């Protein structure tokens, strides 16, 4: 990830300020003053002038309030902040100081679009005419023409980002799988997702029953002593009715998926997992002919939400985790009784800062809702391991071959093979983020940095079998499959 501390600080300051105004009931009347409050001036700190900095704050505030940053909203979850994107280089190809201003002018001769011209000291490329074919760079004998790869465009696994005539990045809503990779790859912080902190705060301020749910990827993110119990205590201080770890949903989903896999295996049918919404989006948008192969089992997030709503029909459920595409699952995929709102770690921490609530260290680690298999759902291979364990515990004697696709590139390869009829395994476990959900775009720590802390926290659940754990929960009141 390229986003540095400066970008992250600005983003968090805006989220926290919006949360504070929402709690105070002053959002509508004071949001217009937020840019001047956060950028007092008179000197600019990051951009060319304070006026651009303030415009970026204004657009960020709109995203924090769940709106598109500009006046036009195409319905997408992820948006480009135009004022910030303007600082990115317009042309993908630039002439460097290595240019010798040679007589041959191979670059000029190679260009078919009249974009490359001789200059007084070196050649010049007109970005308005350049079609980014790369012929000039290939022709230059001095390798003096560099291809500038915009991080957002080249981080997108489905080629959903292009540029308009002004060099501003454009996200194709029809291609975008909501994975969020572009958001944290941009060094200008010019891409963001809509946040739902305002409706969550309004629900917390009301008499509604609001429940918090944290992703299995949460454990280890904040250190070896920040447990699910730490979260439970903090969420109740914020005003949530209760809290449940979504590792329990991993157990529920694994059991439902095991039943489906066993049936498909006997029929010789191939299936894909359904717990990663970006992977589901990739199939539906880029491999629609494979949509019927997506497992009908709902994700762990939806499973826990349904469990809560079966117990409390008035419940409002809020999922917390490192995933952007979970917002897509809750808001766009239309799964009945799914989470009502999704918050990233930075968004929930903004709400906590606004109320002065902190995660406190817990020595006991005695709050455990899930088995170790449900907890490992957030890691590459974890879904497969949980489903295989469920098959074993329920004495379904099948030995399926599973392709564990780690990251977008492997997912695309596996799906392409399935599309052309050359996929030799039985099932695909697809995770768009490398390493699984623990490598999500809004993870608090790099996945390699907290592996040891996760194992320390998992020790308390090591001896809990998946199906034995589920005996503690009445699942008769809801379905574990998509409606």
Where in the chain are the domains?
Answer: 5-88+151-195, 93-147, 198-470
- Least trusted range by pLDDT, from 47-51, 87-91, 143-147, 414-418: 87-91
What class, spelled out in words, does domain 93-147 have in CATH?
Answer: alpha beta
For residues 276-282, give the mean pLDDT: 97
For residues 434-455, give the mean pLDDT: 89
At residue 446, the pLDDT reads 79
404: confidence class by pLDDT, cuts 50, 70, 90: very high
Q: What is the dihedral of CA 39, 41, 43, 45, to 10 degrees?
A: -10
- Distance between CA 182 and CA 156 in Å, rounded? 6
Burial of 110 (0-12, 13-18, 19+ CB in 10 A): middle
At residue 324, the pLDDT reads 96
- Distance between CA 130 and CA 219 in Å, rounded? 48
Most confident residue range from 46-50, 128-132, 147-151, 347-351: 347-351
The yes/no answer on whether domain 5-88+151-195 falls in CATH 3.40.640.10 is no
Inter-CA distances, 16 with 48, 173, 460, Å: 25, 28, 34
- N- to C-terminal Cα distance for the chain? 37
pTM above 0.85, yes or no: yes
* 313-325 residue pLDDT tens: 999 999 999 999 9
For residues 39-44, give the mean pLDDT: 90
Contacts of 429 by beta carbon, 8 Å cutoff, 6+ apart: 272, 273, 380, 381, 383, 384, 402, 403, 404, 405
- Distance between CA 287 and CA 282 in Å, rounded? 7
- Asked if 5-88+151-195 and 93-147 have one fold, the answer is yes
Inter-CA distances, 423 with 91, 297, 399, Å: 40, 22, 17
Taking 60 as the threshold, does the pLDDT of residue 384 lie above it? Answer: yes
For residues 182-200, give the mean pLDDT: 94
* 340-353 residue pLDDT tens: 999 999 999 999 99
For residues 60-70, give the mean pLDDT: 94
Residue with more model confidence, 93 or 24: 24
Cβ atoms 42, 152 nearer than 8 A:
no
Inter-CA distances, 9 with 6, 15, 122, 350, 354, Å: 5, 10, 40, 11, 15
Residue with more model confidence, 286 or 165: 286
For residues 58-77, give the mean pLDDT: 91
Inter-CA distances, 410 with 158, 398, 414, 415, Å: 13, 25, 6, 9
At residue 90, the pLDDT reads 66
Mean pLDDT score of the chain:
93
At residue 450, the pLDDT reads 86
Residue with more model confidence, 63 or 72: 63
């Amino acid at each position: 990830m390229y986003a540095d501390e400066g970008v992250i600080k600005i983003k968090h300051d805006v989220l926290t300020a919006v949360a504070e105004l929402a709690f105070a009931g002053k959002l509508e009347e004071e949001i217009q003053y937020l840019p001047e409050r956060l950028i007092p001036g008179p000197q600019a700190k990051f951009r060319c002038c304070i006026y651009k900095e303030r415009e970026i704050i204004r657009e960020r505030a709109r995203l924090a309030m769940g709106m598109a940053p500009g006046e036009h909203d195409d319905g997408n979850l992820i948006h480009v902040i135009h004022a910030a994107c303007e600082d990115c280089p317009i042309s993908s190809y630039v002439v460097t100081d290595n240019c010798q201003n040679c007589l041959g002018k191979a670059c000029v001769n190679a260009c078919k679009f009249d974009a490359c011209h001789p200059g007084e000291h070196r050649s010049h490329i007109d970005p308005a005419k350049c079609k980014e074919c790369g012929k000039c760079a290939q022709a230059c004998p001095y390798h003096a023409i560099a291809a500038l790869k915009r991080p957002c465009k080249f981080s997108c696994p489905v080629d959903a980002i292009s540029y308009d005539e002004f060099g501003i990045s454009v996200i194709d809503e029809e291609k975008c799988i909501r994975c969020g990779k572009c958001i944290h790859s941009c060094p200008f912080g010019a891409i963001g997702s809509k946040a739902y902190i305002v409706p969550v705060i309004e629900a917390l301020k009301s008499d509604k029953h609001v429940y918090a749910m944290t992703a299995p990827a949460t454990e280890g993110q904040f250190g070896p002593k920040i447990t699910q119990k730490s979260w439970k205590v903090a969420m109740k201080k914020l005003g949530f009715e209760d809290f449940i770890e979504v590792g329990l949903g991993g157990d529920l989903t694994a059991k439902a998926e095991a039943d489906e896999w066993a049936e498909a295996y006997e029929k010789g049918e191939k299936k894909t997992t359904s717990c990663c919404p970006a992977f589901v989006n990739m199939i539906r948008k880029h491999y629609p002919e494979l949509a019927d192969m997506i497992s009908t089992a709902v994700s762990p997030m939806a499973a826990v939400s349904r469990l809560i709503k079966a117990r409390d029909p008035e419940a409002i459920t809020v999922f917390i985790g490192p995933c952007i595409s979970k917002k897509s699952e809750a808001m766009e995929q239309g799964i009945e009784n799914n989470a009502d709102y999704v918050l990233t770690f930075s968004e929930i921490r903004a709400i906590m800062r606004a109320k002065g609530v902190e995660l406190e260290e817990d020595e006991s680690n005695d709050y455990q809702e899930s088995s170790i298999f449900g907890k490992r759902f957030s890691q590459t291979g974890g879904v497969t391991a949980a489903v295989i364990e469920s098959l074993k515990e329920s004495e379904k004697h099948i030995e399926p071959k599973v392709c564990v696709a780690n990251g977008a590139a492997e997912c695309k390869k596996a799906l392409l093979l399935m599309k052309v009829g050359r996929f030799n395994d039985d099932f695909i476990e697809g995770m768009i983020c490398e390493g699984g959900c623990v490598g999500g775009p809004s993870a608090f720590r790099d996945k390699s940095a907290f592996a040891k802390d996760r194992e320390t926290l998992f020790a308390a659940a090591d001896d809990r079998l998946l199906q034995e754990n589920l005996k503690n929960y009445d699942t008769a009141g809801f379905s574990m499959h998509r409606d």
